[in-house]
Structure 1
Amino acid sequence: MANKTVINNSSTEKGVLQSAELYNYIMDTSVYPREHQCLKELRAITSTHPRAVMGTAPDAGQFMALLLKTINAKKTIEIGVFTGYSLLLTALTIPDDGKITAIDMNRSSYEIGLPIIDKAGVKHKINFIESEALPVLDQLLKDPENKGTFDFAFVDADKDNYANYHERVLELLKPGGIAVYDNTLWAGTVAMDESSVPESKLGSRKASIEFNKYIAGDARVQISQVPLGDGITVCRRN
């Protein structure tokens, strides 16, 4: 897949930057030249999926890789996998003996990216669990040895449950651990008048606004809302 990209409707929705020229400049200058070849392949395959917009934005992914390296993450959890772009990125970034607990209700989407994950030689780092996330998180927390042991969490699932995921993720993260929540700006609609928001985005817009208020008031974490991709909120557990 060529590095050069042209903004289309789906990529405009993904990006908070509404200038196609500026978005393309950032991607072509600093993101695509550093993107692993297997990630390029997975991104190309995902772009043909009817729900391609669910894929992790590569600029947000690049930032997550930097965070993973900065904290020397080794044990991570991912809630919401889709075709596995962020999962592959994490697996490529953490050490060879690192482990990722990956949870998604739809294994068929994960299997789209699985051949590329296997090709990249990082499949052994991944424990994929096909399930709703809350029961798995609750099960993990029943074992005291899991509490406070995860270095990093990435959450990109149903927005209505973000606060519920956050409460459980905080228990799993070690002090200084980082959680990243995707789509917290929801294509910019969080700052729009409700009457101008497309009906298809209203439900998750409301959930995103509620979560943003909730996380802003959580003294247990340091936060930064970063305008990459569709908006990511980075939380560091105190």
Structure 2
Amino acid sequence: MTGRTLYLDDSLYDYLQRVSLRETPLLARLREETQALPEARWQVAPEQGQLLAWLVSLIGARRVIEVGTFTGYSALCMAQAMPEGRLTCCDLAGDYHAIARRYWQEAGVEQRIELRLGPALETLATLEAGVFDLVFIDADKANYPLYLEQALVLLRQGGVLVFDNTLWSGRVLQAAPDSADTRAIQQLNAALGVDERVALSMLPLGDGMTLCHKR
């Protein structure tokens, strides 16, 4: 038993992946191709993708929203965990979406995924309220507090909301950050900590993931 979360050095992290990661060859190829892009830092860690797929399977999600899709790794993880249903992906236009579509097609899930291009706040405002099972937010950090409010409207009671990057490489500890992104994540974390509309758990996975259960 331990009284605090463990720090993962490289050896322990390698062990975690070796004994628990079930990344398919297709997902591995997508991740490797993404690493060659200038924006590679936007890629979720493979264990994060596996957790998202596990959550989708656990709650039997059929209607899912992703805000921030990039090359489609996390979307592919979730879509493959859905035996049926619809994944709505919100993102701004980018050449990297061609990579996402290519892998979705190869996996046979392209018909299950709708990629909506444009400002995510505008796209979310057009979706039906109270019917979605899971929402994953991994996009422009400055809008995280706004995404929280929209997601809670869109989620059904008992639905799951996941935010990525909530530890923000430690920058959440800054007393007076210049970055609007850092300030927004600090605001989100503080608000979620006292928000009675959700139960939550912040996990030190990747760059920090916060899981919320809508009451």
TM-score, normalization: structure 1?
Answer: 0.83
Partner of 2:3: none
Distance 1:26 1:18, change over 3 A: closer
Aligned to 2:110: 123
Q: Following the alignment from structure 2 to structure 1, what is the Cα–Cα distance between the partners of residues 134 and 24? A: 21
Q: What is the alpha-carbon distance in structure 2 between the residues aligned to residue 93 and residue 119 of structure 1?
A: 15
Distance 2:180 2:120 in 1: 20
Q: Match of 1:176, as an amino acid?
A: G
Q: Does residue 235 of the first structure (1) align with residue 212 of the second (2)? A: yes
In structure 2, what is the equivalent of residue 11 of structure 1?
none
Whether the aligned pair in 2 keeps the contact of 1:77 and 1:152 (CA below 8 Å) is: yes
Q: CA deviation at 1:109?
A: 1.8
The one of 18, 25, 28 aligned to 1:28:
18
Give the structure 2 partner of residue 13 of structure 1: none
Tell me the distance in 2 between the aligned counterparts of 1:213 and 1:106.
Answer: 31
- Does 1 or 2 have the higher relative contact order (CA < 8 Å, sep 6+)? 1
* Aligned match of 1:190: 172
> Structure 2 CA distance, aligned partners of 1:113 and 1:157?
16
Match of 1:177 among 155, 159, 164: 159
RMSD: 1.8
| Identity score, percent | 39
Moved over 3 A (4+): none
Q: 1:86 aligns with which of 74, 91, 106?
A: 74
Letter in 2 for 1:170: L
Q: Does the aligned pair in 2 maintain the 1:107–1:130 contact within 8 Å?
A: no
Structure 2: tracts of 5 or more residues without a match: 1-5
Matches of 1:136 and 1:76, distance apart in 2:
14
1:111 corresponds in structure 2 to 98
* Letter paired with 1:84: G
Taking structure 2 as the reference length, the TM-score comes to: 0.92
- Equivalent of 1:224, from 201, 207, 213? 201
d(CA) in 2 for partners of 1:38, 1:74: 23
Total equivalences in the alignment: 210
Q: 8 Å contact 1:54–1:82 — kept in the other structure?
A: yes
For residue 194 of structure 1, report the CA deviation from its aligned partner: 5.4
